[in-house]
């Protein structure tokens, strides 16, 4: 009796075995996100514009992809159209580039940046 194992089955078993090794060999680091002080008033020019400059303005600038998120134009580009003051979590400027959403194909906020944008919206999305 021939107990020959087909080569396709061996390849599948080898791939499965390698995948299991890769999965169990991974180390995961938990990234702690500092909680924002809810009493700290965030500034659009000092806190939010730097997020846009770091993460957004390579595409969202004059003559390119809307909205224009450059320092001179960002506020008027997003308020009120991309802000929902009644339900801040539904604000497009918060949830589209949020790292936990699938809504933006390119650069996204970090978790900390998303938290800052959300807090700024919750504080009334002032042009300060």
**pLDDT tens series, the chain, 128 aa:** 556 666 776 677 667 666 556 555 544 444 444 577 878 899 999 999 999 999 899 999 999 999 999 999 999 999 999 999 999 999 999 988 888 877 777 778 899 999 999 999 999 999 99
The pTM of this model reads 0.71
Signed CA dihedral, 123, 49, 81, 56: sign only: negative
Q: Is 14 helix (H, G, I), strand (E, B) or coil?
A: helix
């Amino acid at each position: 009796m021939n107990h020959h194992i087909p080569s396709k089955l061996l390849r599948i078993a080898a791939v499965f075995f390698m995948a299991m090794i890769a999965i169990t060999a991974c180390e995961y680091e938990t990234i702690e996100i500092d909680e924002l002080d809810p009493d700290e008033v965030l500034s659009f020019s000092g806190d939010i514009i730097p997020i846009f400059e770091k993460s957004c303005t390579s595409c969202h600038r004059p003559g390119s992809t809307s909205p224009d998120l450059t320092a001179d134009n960002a506020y008027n580009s997003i308020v009120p159209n991309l802000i929902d003051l009644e339900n801040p979590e539904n604000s497009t400027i918060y949830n589209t580039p949020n790292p936990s959403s699938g809504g933006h194909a390119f650069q996204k906020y970090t978790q900390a940046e998303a938290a800052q944008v959300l807090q700024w919206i919750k504080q009334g999305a002032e042009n300060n």
